[in-house]
Structure 1
Amino acid sequence: MPVLGFVICCCMVISAIERISCTYDNKRLVLHNDVDMAAAIQMLTSRLEAMSAVVEQLTAQNNQLEADVQTLKTTSSGVSVYTRWGRTTCTQNGSELIYAGYTGGNLYTKNGAADYICLSGDPLWGVYDDSAQTYTLKIYGTDYEFSASFSDGGARFFLQKSPRPRDPCAVCRSSRATTVMIPDRNQCYPGWTMEYWG
């Protein structure tokens, strides 16, 4: 009897396994018929085409970026800013005017060093009080005074006679990366480009 029970139990297990196997096989056959395979192939083909287009686009962008990097490596980058004292314009060799104004600095009767600055002609005031102030910092405009030996009143320098002309200035931006002012020369050293002299 125990043997018969074991045989019946084994038959039931085998029968259940066959049913599961048959169900799985049938399901598998239904999911992978010719129509499903064609649809899957079509979907994969369209995805592959889309990915190929993306790869081509990224390759083109990468090539352009590499070319840009090589260009930047071989050319000087950046710009420089300089002040052209005594003028209201920049030179015509790649410089552009940021603003023109007037030279300011310390009062000539005061001691101590003060760098000259190029003040714009249209200041924007933060806190402004026109009344007399005791403790303030002052910036004075500069002007030229010509001695009697300059009877032309500065026309030699400014192309016009003026009793006390304001000292003009221009702040310029150069397309070259570096500018340097050489105080005792009217020509540049070899390899440099002149922005202005005088």
Structure 2
Amino acid sequence: MRNESFHNMLQSRPALRLVANCAVTAASVILCLLLSPTRLPGMELAGIGPNWVLIWIVAWSVKRTMLQGALAGLSLGLIQDGMTADHPTHTLGLVLVGILTARLRKERYVREDFISIALIAFAMAVVAETVTAIQYSISGDRSLVEIWNYHQLIALGSAVLSSLWAPVIYFPLNHWWQYIQMLDQQTQEKYKL
């Protein structure tokens, strides 16, 4: 009964729908940001955990434009830099992830199933970690051999864990965003008549 009344409220009040959508989206971002520094049992491999922020950007960008993906990467990259360290910046890798993920949307062979989302998250984690390794290489603080040997471990660990956990973030958010989009379309059709 409560679900029906909440559904009716969202259906009849576009402003409430916008607020609810913003709240759910912001809450999911905050959850991913809070999970990033944590290492819960069973969620790490060789001291490396899933890249929760990257997972959120993949979930966001799969159905959006490259500009929207880039803006999500920029925003969350800056927040993540503020939470950790700004050198090397997370922003470059996350912007690239947002753009590439949105670009994949146009490919026919990419679907929105468990395997596709996991593969996208895997590939994007490798991309993001490679961008970080390139930044370390340019700064010259460490030897290139050390950077690229360590990069393999980090990229593979992050990619495996991020791909395993990506559906946990993607499917509930995608379901919510589709629900809101359906309500928006119903409202538009109602006012067209």
Q: Same fold by TM-score, threshold 0.5 exceeded? A: no
Larger relative helix fraction: 2
The alignment's TM-score, normalised by the length of structure 2, stands at 0.20
- Which structure: larger Rg? 1
Larger relative strand fraction: 1
